[in-house]
Amino acid sequence: MRRSFAECLVSEPGPADLETALRYAIAAAALATPETLTGPTPCREWDLRALLTHASDSADAVTDGLTGGQIDLIQADDGSVLVADPAHVFRDKASALLAFCADVPRSAMDCKSGDLVAIGNLPMPVALLVATGTLEMAVHGWDIFQAAGQYRPIPHRLALGLLDVAPVLLAASGRYPMFAAAVGVRSSADPSERLTAYLGRSPLTPDLRR
């Protein structure tokens, strides 16, 4: 029986997981080089530059929601302005969000707080924003590690918690084009493999990195 969102977040504290996911993604971005920016990622439509830009936008959105209670719905950047070092930009933004999380009582961001964030004109529980940000940072951290030619699984406990939350945040149907369909995994797959497979990702093979 699928657990409710609140039940998932009570058993897996979102604020602590967000901090873990941010540290993981920051470590991944540190491996990006100018040579890898135009290379492939597990996000089939994006090279590493586009992925880092998207991850920076995600960090901005979570920061805006947690610090100001409002996330504006704006048109996505068309990519016409290229940042010289998108990995550095992402690390700065993720580090600022991590510092904010460390300074705020975790009770202010969990599912019991009752606080709401405005997404455009729609209210969202702050715990839902934290959970969504955690999933984004963790999975995109995995993507960035893959693009850098390294396999570093999402931390075990974090991946386990997100496996519970992911079906609540992202249904198996109606996810395209934001996410690809889930892919199969071996029976002995670890939590990181199962989570990334649910989100439609497969590890990059050496021939795809050429």
CATH of the domain at 139: 1.20.120
Specify the number of domains making up the chain.
Answer: 1
- Write the pLDDT tens digit of every residue in 96-137: 999 998 887 655 555 555 678 888 888 888 888 899 999 999
Task: Report pTM.
Answer: 0.85
**Rounded to 5 degrees, what are φ and ψ at 122?**
-110, 135
Which domain range does residue 155 map to? 5-209
What is the Cα Rg of the chain in Å? 16
Residue 200 DSSP SS3: coil
Alpha carbon distance 44, 201 (integer Å) = 9
Residue 1: its pLDDT value, please?
A: 44
Q: Which two tokens stand for residue 133?
A: 């940000």
Averaged pLDDT score across all residues of the chain = 83
